[in-house]
Amino acid sequence: MNARHALAGQMALGMMLAAFSTEVHAAPPGQSAGSTGHATGLATGLATATVIRPLSVAATTDMDFGTITHAPGAGGTVTVSPRVAGASFGGSASAVCAGSLCSAAHAAGFAVQGEALRSYSIQLPPGIVARGTSGAATLDVGALTTRSVSGGVTPQLDSTGSDRFEVGGTITLPADLPAARYRASFNVIVSYI
């Protein structure tokens, strides 16, 4: 190989090496190629919320222990159970009458409305104190229990967003309880779970 070809080959190799060692820097968005500012990044986050129908409850039937009595000098108990007709009696307590002259004993009823197929909880008071119409006498209502139409441990709204439940309890009749009509109000709370 003559010197001229060798020099041309070296020059070509040198140009190729120079071409491969050249670095190209692109300017970040918003900066010119000659800018010395810091590079920044941008991301877009997303905020979402799912709003469902509010949960509501309404009383449909009052709890009623019926017309009852007890033996003189002896007390007793009367229990109405959810989803069970009538009352059960303990001690000397008993029903006085039946039929159209007396109200039939039954649990309280409530209707629930909300988001379809959602589960909910029912919160009951620990007890209720009923006051008599004849003065300061009171009657305790305790052992409150509940049962929903949807059944199971956890009540659930149906495909239309509805359910019903009943609340039962037990009254204890003291031996010296005066004759009167006893009445009390109580609150139930329903919450989505």
Residue 144 is predicted with a pLDDT of 97
User: What is the mean predicted confidence (pLDDT) over 46-62?
Assistant: 97
Q: What is the pLDDT of residues 73-113, one digit of tens each?
A: 999 999 999 999 889 999 999 998 766 667 789 999 999 99
Q: What is the pLDDT of residues 119-153, one digit of tens each?
A: 999 999 999 999 998 777 899 999 999 999 998 78
Report CA 90 to chain centroid distance, whole Å. Answer: 36
Residue 135 is predicted with a pLDDT of 78
Q: What is the pLDDT of residues 9-37, one digit of tens each?
A: 443 433 333 344 444 445 555 555 555 56
Residue 167 is predicted with a pLDDT of 97
Residue 55 is predicted with a pLDDT of 98
Residue 151 is predicted with a pLDDT of 83
CA distance 166 to 140: 19
Decide: 60 and 111 in contact? Cβ < 8 Å: yes
In eight-state DSSP terms, residue 53 is: P
- Least Cα distance to 143 among 127, 132, 129 occurs for 127
Residue 155 is predicted with a pLDDT of 97
CA distance 154 to 121: 7
Q: What is the mean pLDDT of the chain?
A: 84
